[in-house]
Amino acid sequence: ARRWVYTSGACLLAVGSLFFVTHTLTGQLVGMLCRVMGASALSITLSLYIMDHIRKTDFMQAESLRMAWSMLAWTSGPTLGIFLYTRFGIYAAHGAVAIFAMALLALFWTCRLGDNQSIRPGKTRPANPLANIGRFVAQPRLRLAWLIAVGRSCFWTTFFVYGPLFMVITGEGELAGGLLVSAGNALLFTAIFWGRVGQRFGGRRTMTSAYFALSAMLLAAGAVGESVPFLTGALLLCGALFAIALDALGSTAFMRSVRFYERAEMAAVYRTYLDFSELTPPLVYSV
């Protein structure tokens, strides 16, 4: 049942935090594996619950609100983790992760979300999971939704990793790098604005305009480069503003395109955009 997959995901996050405190290579590997598997389970099942319980006409509003509220976690989480680690040690930092994971699990079971009643367990032998990739690729709208997600996620990987590095290398210091990341996270509240823009002008037009604007900001940042680091950082922040439009509206392209009887299989394939976007930018930049 889907609820047990969600439960397993939350438990894996808590277990992974326990392995991280071992200070061993094996513990780090197992902890990272638990974290990735847990996050994947939570992400996939959450997407399925959203598609089951929210009407298609409300996807834009729901996703923009969800993204805006996530600002609290993205801005307070790193600060809280560093505070606990510096004041109380690694056990406190990772212990907080386990506590939040269990709190999430308790909230989930309190809400008592159920599976879609129109979906029944299959009586035939399960299909090869690799075949789902072929079915996903064969559908143009799903391919487009995946590419939209990959593009915005590649930007965030670049922004969070290379933005602070750029500030340090150009001599602006670690504080400037940290402020750049914090400012980018704080902009997530504008997801509500982008949700309303998408409802007013349409998701396709809004996302297309956001991609053009994001590209322009990145080209301008590259042109300025090291000559005026703070201007480059400001241009990256402007790019982040338009990337949030893609965050707020991008997932609706998948949710509206996937067939209801293929949601579970296609959601698992769609989720691979995160792994792809985490690996691709470092690979490209290292060449």
The answer to the question of residue 226 being in a domain is yes
Question: Buried b vs exposed e over 78-114: b needs ≥16 C-beta within 10 Å?
Answer: eeeeeebeeeeeeeebbbbbbebbeebbeebeeeebe
The answer to the question of residue 137 being in a domain is yes
Q: Tell me the per-residue pLDDT of 28-76, one tens digit each, with 9 for 90 and over.
A: 999 999 998 999 899 889 988 888 888 888 888 888 888 888 888 888 8
The answer to the question of residue 34 being in a domain is yes
Residue 63's closest CA among 202, 211, 196?
196
- Count of Cβ atoms closer than 10 Å to residue 156 Cβ: 19
The model's pTM is 0.81
Strand, helix or coil for residue 202 = coil
Contacts of 150 (CB under 8 A, 6+ apart): 273, 276, 277, 280
The rounded percent of the chain whose pLDDT value lies above 70 is 95
15 and 148 housed in the same domain: no
Q: Domain limits at 181?
A: 131-287
The answer to the question of residue 123 being in a domain is no
285 and 245 housed in the same domain: yes
Q: Tell me the per-residue pLDDT of 206-254, one tens digit each, with 9 for 90 and over.
A: 999 999 999 999 999 999 988 999 999 999 999 999 999 999 898 888 9
46 and 145 housed in the same domain: no
The answer to the question of residue 122 being in a domain is no
Q: What is the tally of structural domains in the chain? A: 2
35 and 61 housed in the same domain: yes
